[in-house]
Structure 1
Amino acid sequence: MINIVVELSKYVILTLMIIYTILCYYLVVGKHASDRKGLLQTQISLTFFLDFTAFLVVFLKTFDFKVAVFYAEMMVYFAAILILYRRIYKNASMLLLNNMCMLLSVGFIMLCRLDIASANKQLLIVACGSAVALVIPVMIRKMKFLKDLTWIYAGVGVVLLAAVLVLAQTSYGAKLSLMGIQPSEVIKLTFVFFMASLLAREVTFKKVVLATVVAGLHVGILVLSRDLGSAVIFFVAYMVMIYVSTRKPVYLGIGLAGGAVGSVIAYHLFGHVRERVSAWKDPMAVYQNEGYQIVQSLFAIGTGGWFGMGLCQGSPEKIPVVKNDFIFSAICEELGGIFAICLILVCMSFFLTIVEIALQIKNPFYKLIAIGLGTEYAFQVFLTIGGATKFIPMTGVTLPLVSYGGSSIMCMILMIAIIQGLYIYREDEDEEIERHRREAAKRARQRAAEAAAERDY
């Protein structure tokens, strides 16, 4: 009986995910749909039904009461964050919030299936991060001086990265964390704020040079620390923000050429890079060593097929660091390739929503922040999924909101709160423009009335 429930659950979960994904794009494109509120509530219902089905299966396969307790705690968290956002920030983007909850749900399901202790720790970090994040939209709206802290952002980033380079222990071939915290995750935020602050006003050649020097320091220290995934994310965010602020393709071309040269130099300087490239080119040739991770990842993806093995039916634990770098492979194995494609599409709709917010903001500082954060998010998704599927060499970054990781998940929650603040700021801009329009129309009517009165006189 349990096996029948597990088999049927695959198709129930997949159907719920497909409907949710379709609604994501309908809501992104259909801005003025009269039933928008109802569709957003439908998304929440789909997420809750998906969670119930998945956790029921995990419980039936394990009969671990901790799974039921975790499910109850997770539902309390989702209910609290959805209610609080609707009460405190009536103008917040509910689509962003819904997507955050869906991606967190997928991560919690897989973590609970893999390691209940990690799932509990992840939920605690998410809850703490969300509590802090609730005040960030207010800060974005009220703290106008944020655009003036240009060199503080730069200094904090360089100092923290240098501290990691000097003091951190090597883990998986790279220096990543200090005292259990990965500063590069926090610096993703400060770096974007630095670039936005520097380039928000008139962009001169001198400013481009200064931005390049500071970005070079960030990327250079990360390369020396062998944190190549973060280095690539910083570099791409730098290029996009420079191009958007200057609108000069020549800078984009120079950046791409410089990145290509830097990649070749890194390949020849660091054995760690050569190992990953070797594993990417022919993982079976080095299966016993550096190719083991990617081979196991590909086996898992292939085993899952389109519809997956079913929760608790596969062997994702055979993939090293599956909770962090290769959680996408575990999702493919147990929930299927179609579910994984829907997950990618949800991530894309998340990014498109951020881009839409950026395009509608008038203030250049806030516009650049939205573009920079959106670029970092999208490229991190690309690096994680590309590495797990052997599309590109593995870079060792996590899948945002889905993978296990304290610093990563905390900073992603804060990033979403910043974007929510920008969305609310955009709404305030629209209201201000509408207010000025009404006042101008009122003054025009008054002048017309006065002119008519003078003619009658």
Structure 2
Amino acid sequence: MNIIGVLHSILVETSKYIIIILFAIYTWHCFTVFIGRNKEREQRVYARQQKMMFAIHFIATFVLFLNSLDKNILIFYVCQFLMLVFMCKAYPFVYKGMSKLVLNNMMMLLTIGFIMIERLSTVDIIRQMIFVAAIGVVALFIPFIIEKFPYFDKFGVVYALIGIAMLSLVFVIGKEKYGARNWIIIGSFALQPSEFVKIIFVFFAAAFLSRVRNFADVVKVSIPAAIHVLILIAEKDLGGALIFYITYLVILYVSTRKESYLVLGTGALAAGAVLAYKLFYHVRVRVSAWKDPWSDVANKGYQVTQSLFAIGTGGWFGMGFCEGTPEKIPVSKTDFIFSAICEEMGVFFGICIILVEISCFIMFINISLKIENRFYKLTALGLSVEYMFQVFLTIGGVTKFIPSTGVTLPLVSYGGSSVTSTLILFAIIQGLYVINNKRGDDDEAES
């Protein structure tokens, strides 16, 4: 091996451990930042987290550039850097009193996504950056919209009709992709309506359930909710159907505090799972691959086995950025991006990603608890459940903990619909929290 090769190997190996250490410290801060409730200390920790995020971004990009010597990577880096700086400065200015930990986590997950998508495809990273930049600007108007239009809880029927119409649209102009007919594809542009309906669905459920009084009210809201789920099942988007169903069940239970609904809902879920297994061939394939992927590695078990091979090959500390073969993992940019990350960055890095996602969920629930308006409280709760349950389905599927459901890892996986809806989700929760705090301050001033 020549000198250049030796130096390159040393650089990759060294950078791997530096990135892991930085991300581990970042993750540690996610769960220790509030110790002592010292505001000055909290601000220092948030600033430190951002510095570590930018350091990880720079180191990974530098390794990627040395590996390919593609000048476009430098251009991508500058664009991504400017986007992250914009979020660091603009969001706290607009979302006054926002959770800076949620903001930092959002940017860190986007950074990891940028790094890995760019590693896998320089074409797809351009699209991802365009979507993030566009929705990053749009999200700045969400607090203004919430404040100026305080009657979102009055349009439950409208939300239901819009959601059902958008989901049904795929039966007219939709295309089948990865076994599910839940995509609208026009030229090179692909849209997944269910990603956006997820948010509308929560608004619909929260609007009705914030006023629920008796069993008749529950039946009225459950019928359109069931229609949403049944449409997704008809599209064979069982991952999406499961997210909608679990989210509705949690909102229903929290709004009524009746364990009987939770028991009945869980029983209906079990019955539905058995029925889906009998009705859909691709469900039987995924369950078979989950139970014993090694019995048919070349066909049914190919996705799961390649995912497990990648995670196992990476071990605790990974093979090093750009040193693995993530292209061998099916749909590695979307559904199985967690496996690709673990192969090159290591299982330890992957665990840190999971902990950061959990940190986001904890903060979302905390924000929901602090909101006084019942509709907004249930909305924040529903969005929180949607987010975390999607994380569970994604990581559970690629690690063979549960059968694969074909959903993406929020903010990390490639996909315009996915990253757009998730950024809107983060912005809505932050916006609700900010508006709630502002109204509380106004009430105190008046008294």
Alignment TM class, shorter chain as reference: over 0.9
- The number of aligned residues is 437
1:267-318 superposed Cα distances (whole Å, 9 cap, x missing partner): 0001011011011111111211121011000000000000000001000100
Equivalent residue for 1:185? 195
1:81-131 superposed Cα distances (whole Å, 9 cap, x missing partner): 221113223222211111110000001110111111111110111001111
Equivalent residue for 1:442? none
1:414 to 424, 427, 439: 424
User: TM-score, normalised on structure 2?
Assistant: 0.96
User: Residues 361 and 252 of structure 1: is their aligned pair in 2 closer, same or farther, counting only changes over 3 Å?
Assistant: same
The answer to whether the 8 A contact 2:33-2:42 is kept is yes
Per the alignment, in what secondary structure is the counterpart of residue 201 of structure 1?
A: coil
Distance 1:195 1:432 in 2: 29
Supply the AA of the counterpart residue of 1:336. G
Q: CA deviation at 1:29?
A: 5.9
User: Residues 235 and 29 of structure 1: is their aligned pair in 2 closer, same or farther, counting only changes over 3 Å?
Assistant: farther
Distance 2:36 2:101 in 1: 12
Whichever of the two has the greater Rg, that structure is: 1
Distance 2:334 2:260 in 1: 37
Is 1:208 matched up with 2:214?
Answer: no
Is 1:100 matched up with 2:102?
Answer: no
Q: CA deviation at 1:376?
A: 0.1
User: Residues 211 and 28 of structure 1: is their aligned pair in 2 closer, same or farther, counting only changes over 3 Å?
Assistant: farther
The answer to whether the 8 A contact 1:165-1:224 is kept is no
Per the alignment, in what secondary structure is the counterpart of residue 37 of structure 1?
A: helix
Q: CA deviation at 1:425?
A: 1.8
1:35-58 superposed Cα distances (whole Å, 9 cap, x missing partner): 111111111111001111111111
Equivalent residue for 2:178? 172
2:302 to 285, 292, 306: 292
The answer to whether the 8 A contact 2:212-2:218 is kept is no
Distance 1:318 1:105 in 2: 23
1:238 to 248, 269, 283: 248
Is 1:62 matched up with 2:59?
Answer: no
User: Residues 128 and 107 of structure 1: is their aligned pair in 2 closer, same or farther, counting only changes over 3 Å?
Assistant: same
Distance 2:288 2:98 in 1: 46
Q: CA deviation at 1:30?
A: 5.4
Distance 2:38 2:365 in 1: 18
The answer to whether the 8 A contact 1:28-1:352 is kept is no
1:327-386 superposed Cα distances (whole Å, 9 cap, x missing partner): 000011000011100000000000000000001111100000000000000000000000
1:163-194 superposed Cα distances (whole Å, 9 cap, x missing partner): 21343121111112113211000100000000
Distance 1:103 1:143 in 2: 31
Higher alpha-carbon deviation: 422-431 or 298-307: 422-431
Supply the AA of the counterpart residue of 1:139. I
Is 1:377 matched up with 2:387?
Answer: yes
The answer to whether the 8 A contact 1:233-1:376 is kept is yes
Q: Which runs of 4+ in 1 moved over 6 A?
A: none
Distance 1:89 1:243 in 2: 31
Equivalent residue for 1:342? 352
Distance 1:22 1:424 in 2: 26
Equivalent residue for 2:27? 21
Supply the AA of the counterpart residue of 1:125. F
Supply the AA of the counterpart residue of 2:340. A
Distance 2:36 2:233 in 1: 43
Supply the AA of the counterpart residue of 1:101. M
Query: Structure 2: which 5+ runs fail to align?
Result: 1-6
What is the RMSD of the two structures over their aligned residues, measured on CA atoms? 1.2
Per the alignment, in what secondary structure is the counterpart of residue 422 of structure 2?
A: helix
1:125 to 125, 131, 135: 131
Equivalent residue for 1:199? 209
Distance 2:300 2:435 in 1: 47
Distance 2:232 2:34 in 1: 36
Supply the AA of the counterpart residue of 1:284. W
Equivalent residue for 1:109? 115
Supply the AA of the counterpart residue of 2:377. K
Equivalent residue for 1:452? none
Equivalent residue for 1:319? 329
Distance 1:231 1:88 in 2: 34
Supply the AA of the counterpart residue of 2:96. K
Per the alignment, in what secondary structure is the counterpart of residue 177 of structure 1?
A: strand
Write out aligned runs for 1:330-369 (5 A): 330-369=340-379
Per the alignment, in what secondary structure is the counterpart of residue 176 of structure 1?
A: strand
Distance 2:33 2:230 in 1: 41
User: Residues 143 and 328 of structure 1: is their aligned pair in 2 closer, same or farther, counting only changes over 3 Å?
Assistant: same
User: Residues 299 and 247 of structure 1: is their aligned pair in 2 closer, same or farther, counting only changes over 3 Å?
Assistant: same
Distance 1:274 1:74 in 2: 41
Distance 2:371 2:96 in 1: 18
1:137-180 superposed Cα distances (whole Å, 9 cap, x missing partner): 21112211211011000001111111213431211111121132
Is 1:152 matched up with 2:162?
Answer: no
User: Residues 318 and 233 of structure 1: is their aligned pair in 2 closer, same or farther, counting only changes over 3 Å?
Assistant: same
Equivalent residue for 2:278? 268
Equivalent residue for 1:308? 318
Is 1:143 matched up with 2:149?
Answer: yes
Q: CA deviation at 1:28?
A: 5.3
User: TM-score, normalised on structure 1?
Assistant: 0.94
Distance 2:336 2:415 in 1: 12
Q: CA deviation at 1:200?
A: 1.3
Equivalent residue for 2:44? 38
Is 1:217 matched up with 2:224?
Answer: no
Identity of aligned residues (%): 48
Supply the AA of the counterpart residue of 2:54. F
Equivalent residue for 1:386? 396
Supply the AA of the counterpart residue of 2:287. V
Distance 2:224 2:437 in 1: 33
Equivalent residue for 2:3? none
User: Residues 71 and 30 of structure 1: is their aligned pair in 2 closer, same or farther, counting only changes over 3 Å?
Assistant: farther
Distance 2:389 2:239 in 1: 10
